[in-house]
Structure 1
Amino acid sequence: MRVAVTGASGFVGGAVVSHLLEAGHEVVALCRRPVRERAGLVHRPWDLTTGRLTDAPSVDAVVHAGAHVDEWDPWSVHEAVTVSGTRAVLDTWPATQVVLISSASVYPLRGAGRPRWVLTEDDAPTRRPLSAYTRAKIAQERIVLARGDAVVLRPHAVHGTGDTTLLPRLARARRGGRLVCPGGGRTLVHLTDVRLVASAAARACESDCGATVLNVADERPLELRDIVAGVAAANGWHERPLFTGAPAAWAAALVSEGTARLLRSRTAPLLTAYGVSHLAVSRAFATSRLREHLGITPAATDLTRWTGGG
């Protein structure tokens, strides 16, 4: 197959490119930054905000991993990159299957499943997004699903070598010999290996499962204290963990956000409501449909690879 991958220079997009190449597919990497040259790979510079790609290459499928990921940036930026950029992708390939890399952040903090913290694809997106990023992801999904031939993948807290989002936040929380962790040590956090996301994207391109939404997550959620210990060991951190508890984490996030906005800070504070939602709320994501539709059985979380990052 010949597959186009948007956001190919990013953490997730790059993993998708590598997986597709290793599986023997040809890849057209679409991104602003250059990518490492490899056999079977062609790079096409493309800024999603410029609209439809002229002289678009012929491909069998498109993995749309391009999006703006900094939740602190204003809605106008997310709308231009994530929402309008998605329309540009669909306009460029109006008759080609699209696999969208979305996010489990579109879900409400509590679902309708049993137990109530287990979320399935039947749970509707939240009506109260905690960030412009989440709001844009919800809009992006609606645009793609309206076309009727897309697969939407919803990973949560993607981890692995080179993570540029969550791991740097944990690194910033190392202060005074402590690793400050929002939430309680026994909070259940469901992570997603970036290799699992890449495998699901490739399998979705190869399959004929029709329009569907699929959760993508590791075998089972882990307690936050075990995640922190694993990440610290993988990165050589020696700080002792300090768990704040959920109420304190939410309060600190609200104060931090309010102060940063009053100061018109262009940089997100250490604690945001969006960030706290990933680590201070027990949630799990049902993956039975991932098995049924794509034949993928998630493996146990391997924290030894959650290193590096920007």
Structure 2
Amino acid sequence: MRVAVSGASGFVGAAVVDRLLDRGHEVLALSRRPVQARPGLVHRAWDLTTGVLPDPSPVDVVVHAAAHVDEWAPREVHDAVTVGGTRAVLATWPRARVVLVSSCSVYPLRAPAGSGHVFTEDVPVTTRHLSSYSRAKAEQERLVLGRAGSVVLRPHAVHGPGDPTLLPRLERARRHGRLLCPGGADTLVHLTDVRLVAEAAVASSEFECDTTVLNIADAHALPLSVVAAGVAAANGWPERPLFTGAGIAWAAALALEATARLTRASTPPLLTAYAVSHLAVSRVFDTTRLRQRLGVEPGPTDLSRWRHEGTGHGDGDSYD
């Protein structure tokens, strides 16, 4: 099978490429930056904001993993890269099946009452987005689900070696011998191993199914205290965790965001509402549909792998 992968030089896209090649598939890797040359792989440079890919090679499936992941970027940037880029992918291969790597950020902040913090895929997409990133991901999903046979994968807080998004943010939270954790020690954080995302993307490519949405997450959600201790141990951070509680985290995020907007800061503040939503609100993502439809079984979270590595993956082609 021949599979095109957009965002192939990014954190998630690179993992998908590796898994496809391991399975013996031919890969058309698409990204702004070059990728490692290997048997079975052809690379083409493509900036999605330029529109349809000229003279595209035929493919059976497109794994669309490219998106702009910086939630602090202006809405027009997300519209150009994430939304406009998706339109370009669909127009380039009008008959190929599409597997979209989306995000659990499209869900509401809190699970339905009485659900025990659990989100199934039947929970409607929110209309109150915390960032332009999540708004663009919701529009991206709408476009892809308009094509029959498409699969939308929704991971949450993707982790693993070389994570260019969440790990740097946690590292910035090291202050005066403490690792500032925006939430309570018992807050449930549901992470997703980047290898699991790749496995789900490849399984979605190999097995045709009806148009569907699938949550992608590790076997169990973990208390924030366990996540903080695990990521600190993996990276050799000596700082002790300091849990702020949700109320203080939300107040600090809103104040820091307001200040950053007033000063027209080009980089996000230490704490944003989007970041707080990942770590200060208990959220558990049901993966029953993933197991039943694709036969993919999530494993336990291995925090020992969540460390810096010189991968060179950049934000533009990455996914959170």
Normalising by structure 2, what TM-score?
Answer: 0.95
SS of aligned partner of 1:5: strand
For the 8 Å contact 2:154–2:215, the answer to whether it is kept is: yes
Which residue in 2 is equivalent to 1:208?
A: 208
In the alignment, the residues of structure 1 paired with residue 125 and residue 113 of structure 2 have an alpha-carbon distance, to the nearest angstrom, of: 14
Which residue in 1 is equivalent to 2:241?
A: 241
In the alignment, the residues of structure 1 paired with residue 206 and residue 145 of structure 2 have an alpha-carbon distance, to the nearest angstrom, of: 19
- Within a 5 Å distance, the mapping from 1:45-60 to structure 2 comes to 45-60=45-60
Which residue in 2 is equivalent to 1:307?
A: 307
Which residue in 2 is equivalent to 1:261?
A: 261
Which residue in 1 is equivalent to 2:123?
A: 123
- Number of residue pairs matched by the alignment: 310
In the alignment, the residues of structure 2 paired with residue 280 and residue 47 of structure 1 have an alpha-carbon distance, to the nearest angstrom, of: 35
In the alignment, the residues of structure 1 paired with residue 10 and residue 113 of structure 2 have an alpha-carbon distance, to the nearest angstrom, of: 33
In the alignment, the residues of structure 2 paired with residue 113 and residue 286 of structure 1 have an alpha-carbon distance, to the nearest angstrom, of: 15
Letter in 1 for 2:86: T
Which residue in 1 is equivalent to 2:317?
A: none
Alignment deviations for residues 200-227 of structure 1 (CA, whole Å, 9 cap, x no partner): 0000000011200000000010000000
Letter in 2 for 1:61: V
Q: RMSD between aligned alpha carbons?
A: 0.9
Letter in 2 for 1:99: V
In the alignment, the residues of structure 2 paired with residue 293 and residue 207 of structure 1 have an alpha-carbon distance, to the nearest angstrom, of: 9
Normalising by structure 1, what TM-score?
Answer: 0.99
Q: Which runs of 5+ in 1 are unaligned?
A: none
Is residue 275 of structure 2 the alignment partner of residue 275 of structure 1?
yes
SS of aligned partner of 2:186: coil
Give how far 1:249 is off: 0.1
In the alignment, the residues of structure 1 paired with residue 203 and residue 210 of structure 2 have an alpha-carbon distance, to the nearest angstrom, of: 13
Is residue 234 of structure 2 the alignment partner of residue 223 of structure 1?
no
Alignment deviations for residues 233-255 of structure 1 (CA, whole Å, 9 cap, x no partner): 10011001100000000000000
For the 8 Å contact 2:110–2:117, the answer to whether it is kept is: yes
SS of aligned partner of 1:4: strand
In the alignment, the residues of structure 1 paired with residue 177 and residue 95 of structure 2 have an alpha-carbon distance, to the nearest angstrom, of: 55
Q: Which runs of 5+ in 2 are unaligned?
A: 313-320
Give how far 1:65 is off: 0.2
For the 8 Å contact 1:113–1:120, the answer to whether it is kept is: no
SS of aligned partner of 2:184: coil
In the alignment, the residues of structure 2 paired with residue 110 and residue 151 of structure 1 have an alpha-carbon distance, to the nearest angstrom, of: 24
In the alignment, the residues of structure 2 paired with residue 71 and residue 148 of structure 1 have an alpha-carbon distance, to the nearest angstrom, of: 29
For the 8 Å contact 1:79–1:136, the answer to whether it is kept is: yes
In the alignment, the residues of structure 1 paired with residue 242 and residue 71 of structure 2 have an alpha-carbon distance, to the nearest angstrom, of: 25
Alignment deviations for residues 150-198 of structure 1 (CA, whole Å, 9 cap, x no partner): 1000000000001000000000001111100000011000000000000
Alignment deviations for residues 24-70 of structure 1 (CA, whole Å, 9 cap, x no partner): 11111100001111111111000000001110011111000000000
For the 8 Å contact 1:113–1:119, the answer to whether it is kept is: no
For the 8 Å contact 1:249–1:280, the answer to whether it is kept is: yes
For the 8 Å contact 2:257–2:272, the answer to whether it is kept is: yes
Is residue 299 of structure 2 the alignment partner of residue 295 of structure 1?
no
Is residue 80 of structure 2 the alignment partner of residue 63 of structure 1?
no
Give how far 1:111 is off: 2.1
SS of aligned partner of 2:137: helix
SS of aligned partner of 1:53: coil
In the alignment, the residues of structure 2 paired with residue 111 and residue 182 of structure 1 have an alpha-carbon distance, to the nearest angstrom, of: 19
Which residue in 2 is equivalent to 1:155?
A: 155
Letter in 1 for 2:13: G
